Amino acid sequence: MVQVEFLGPISKEPMQLEASSLHDVAKVLNEDSELKTWLESAAVAVNDTLVSSLDVALKDGDKVSLLPPVCGG
């Protein structure tokens, strides 16, 4: 199981799901219509490192985070 966390303004509780890569995570999250806009604009981190591709293998206990558009300062 991997843990998926929604950061900042995405008001959604963390999810646990079976996934062996980010492609699997994408498949599951795209079934949730509430998430549609966020998926198009969010960056993705695996274990707190930002990634640039879905070709990232996941293992049990990994944490996937969704980071919507930012505005610090």
Partner 1 sequence: MLELHNGALHVSEILARWCDEEARNNYGAYIPFVGTVRSEDSIDGLSFDIYEPILENWFSAWQFKAKEVGAIVKMAHSRGDVMLHESSYIAAVFSPKRRVALEMIDSFVEDFKASAPIWKYDLKGGNRIYAADRSTPIKNSGLLGKKS
**Binding residues vs partner 1 (CB under 8 A):** 7-9, 22, 25-26, 29-30, 36, 39-45, 48-54, 65-73
Task: Name beta bridge partners: 50.
Answer: 45
| Shortest separation between residue 22's beta carbon and partner 1, angstroms | 7
**Toward partner 1, which CB reaches closer, 16 or 49?**
49
| Shortest separation between residue 5's beta carbon and partner 1, angstroms | 9
The Cα-based distances of 12 to 4, 33, 34, 56, 64 in angstroms read 10, 12, 9, 23, 14
